[in-house]
Chain A
């Protein structure tokens, strides 16, 4: 990707090779060069950062290859929505289906830290039921792991990055307390949400957040500037860029940034992977590794597997089941706006400071299964106006008038569960990108369950806004997040990886990111992405030195979190 003509032309030159005591703007001094390392991780996002940290800490030789830059928050980030669209994966994805997805800034990060560099920081555990949708609701599938398997890793991640949250969290299996105190004060937008909930007897809490409420590790607490989706300049918000990756470098990891992995390499038999091929600045390089972990997110992970097809794996690597790229799931992301007589000014404060999961679990009286989370969700002018125009068809005089009342709106976002459907897929298109690789096609259509869930959630959100003293104003359809495409399972015939994120087909190839999700849950997913990564790291560490990766026994007992 070139940055030519991009408004925020970087005025610091990014280095592309980083390891302890070394930073280079060329590939001539790589730490391992032609040598085979223990682990090569593709993508330094939410999952990749945790893996890099845990594995290098355990003494494994680790190289992380990241397509985007190693951002410098002070000189690369800015308090500006338009310029900061460059934090996203802007490469063109082809979209199809009845509800073609917005990609880019809406769900895909690029650069060290990945999605969390511009995420909102709302940090939930999944509920026990999320792992057992088949058993409980007779739809979708159960995960091969349970809440109990992830529980120690949720706690570990929360502790490691000092998640802030309420003293008592009313829903799910975990009721707090969180390592850091809840945020105080909360924004006006979150206050009116809680006011409306109170009137209706709906429980709400201050949001659990991957954002500091007190100093930690040389980083300050949040200053409420509200630009979380543009990159946090004070470093109050978590991302691997400022936490796990620098620490991994301290433990000996090497990070190669601005380097796009274009192929995973296999040996002649095709039974094992041997490393990866990547492109930096137009030139192709190789990194050999005993174990390769793909953590490139829901679109690029399946795409890389499909693009790495060999005569022995004609349908793509790890795809003997045909499941690579299938069953992708966004969340519903409908924004419900209410207008108030008083000024709300929802540009102020961390965007989400209050939430409710009162409608999270299945209640068949509602006419659909599963449920959703409400996030009181602030906004900014570009995001509000653009989605009004592009998603709700409001423009011209009407848009102008609405936007003049910008300060009088409050907003609730409906983060709803989307069931996995076989027709929602990542496939390869006919068109090629700058590397000569087929562009991905992202196909998505809602099902009937989602349409009912959305109708229910929108009605409820409007009731909350009304109870708070507002007038329901408009609903902007949207989606958020993306999950699935390489789902985990015990049966190699209908899943891509096992319960430890090891591919069924190739024992030394792992996939560990949001793509392994079996179901979407009805809340923001990244704590689960990171907990799965920490669990995978534990498994790899326990197996290290056992002479390479053997296929996992499905019945193998769970491993426990590293004592810390």
Chain B
């Protein structure tokens, strides 16, 4: 996948200026250790079957993820959902869970169902049938714990649902090499080393702003 392909179909980010359009972190892949290479390569390969999400749930997750990371590129969103699917299917611990909040698999599954209930209450339709503005309104409500009241929220605390979704989705999204390229992150770095770490210095292989993009980063851009 070339970085430029990716950007051209980045419909959600059309007004967003990218500092490093020419940088592709994958060009450096030969310099990475084999374990890291294998881990990152799997993010670009065709995805195996889902273990946890049903088709409908995956469809919902896709819509939610697009809102949360403000990106519409299907391959990246698919990978984000795949990551979440594997985590929920795996039985890996949750690190922490608020007392009284259900286990994450229940929280997410019941939470996705609750989205339909709350969407019906607000707009008379399933969440999946809403337009983007309406979906956004529901999600923003969840975040504040202020989505319309439905009995389901007593089992699925809305803020916890939102926090779970956003933190897994965002972590996976910013693990995708296309996003690393876009933000100019140098990516994996072993066995290669950094020598030029001081202000204003870059290694020859690091992301460079093009002439047009110089001066970006200030607030007026």
Contact = CB atoms under 8 A, between A and B. Distances in A.
A4 B171 CA distance: 20
Nearest to A348: B197
B68 A396 contact: yes
B83, B95, B189, B201, most chain A CB atoms within 10 A: B95
Interface string A169-200: 00000000000000001111001100000000
Interface string A384-420: 1110111001011101110111111000000000000
A395 to B, nearest CB: 5
A95 B96 contact: yes
A491 interface: no
Nearest to A401: B16
Contacts of B39: 7-8, 78, 80, 83
A501 to B, nearest CB: 28
A77 interface: yes
Contact of B174 (A5, A233, A349, A403): A403
Interface string A42-85: 00000000000000000000000000000000111111111100
B198 A347 contact: no
Interface stretch (B55-63, B121-129, B180-188): B180-188
A14 interface: no
B178 to A, nearest CB: 12
Interface string A433-446: 00000000110000
Contact of A191 (B103, B179, B198): B198
What is the interface of chain B mostly: helix, strand, loop, or mixed?
loop
Contacts of B182: 404
A82 B83 contact: yes
A207 B91 CA distance: 39
A185 B93 CA distance: 40
Interface stretch (A97-105, A320-328, A354-362): A97-105
Interface string B48-88: 00010000000000000001111100000000000100110
A79 B188 contact: yes
A103 B95 contact: yes
Contacts of A78: 33, 35-36, 39, 188
B198 A188 contact: yes
Contact of B172 (A79, A82, A404, A405): A82
A127 interface: no
Nearest to B103: A92
B51, B91, B200, B217, most chain A CB atoms within 10 A: B217
Nearest to B136: A396
Contact of B193 (A93, A224, A347, A381): A224
B175 A227 contact: no
A380 interface: yes
A341 B200 CA distance: 11
A227 B190 contact: yes
B96 A103 contact: yes
A74 B33 CA distance: 9
A2 interface: yes
B89, B94, B103, B163, most chain A CB atoms within 10 A: B94
A205 to B, nearest CB: 17
A209 B19 CA distance: 34
Interface in A92-148: 92-96, 100-106
B166 A389 contact: yes
A270 B103 CA distance: 37
Interface in B19-65: 19, 32-33, 35-36, 39-40, 42, 51
Given A223-B194, A233-B33, A341-B217, A386 B167 contact: yes
B189 A225 contact: yes
B92 interface: yes
B183 A406 contact: yes
Interface string A490-502: 0000000000000
Contacts of B188: 78-80
A390 B95 contact: no
A80 B174 contact: no
Given A101-B96, A224-B195, 17 more contacts: A2-B91, A5-B90, A79-B32, A93-B97, A106-B95, A187-B198, A225-B190, A382-B171, A385-B170, A386-B171, A395-B67, A396-B69, A399-B68, A399-B170, A400-B71, A403-B183, A407-B207
8 contacts: A1-B93, A91-B93, A95-B99, A223-B189, A344-B199, A382-B171, A382-B175, A393-B143
Interface of B: 13, 16-19, 32-33, 35-36, 39-40, 42, 51, 67-71, 83, 86-87, 89-99, 103, 136, 143, 163, 166-167, 170-175, 179-180, 182-191, 193-195, 197-202, 206-207, 209, 215, 217-219
Minimum-distance CB pairs A-B, first 8: A104-B95, A5-B90, A79-B188, A223-B193, A225-B189, A90-B93, A408-B217, A91-B93
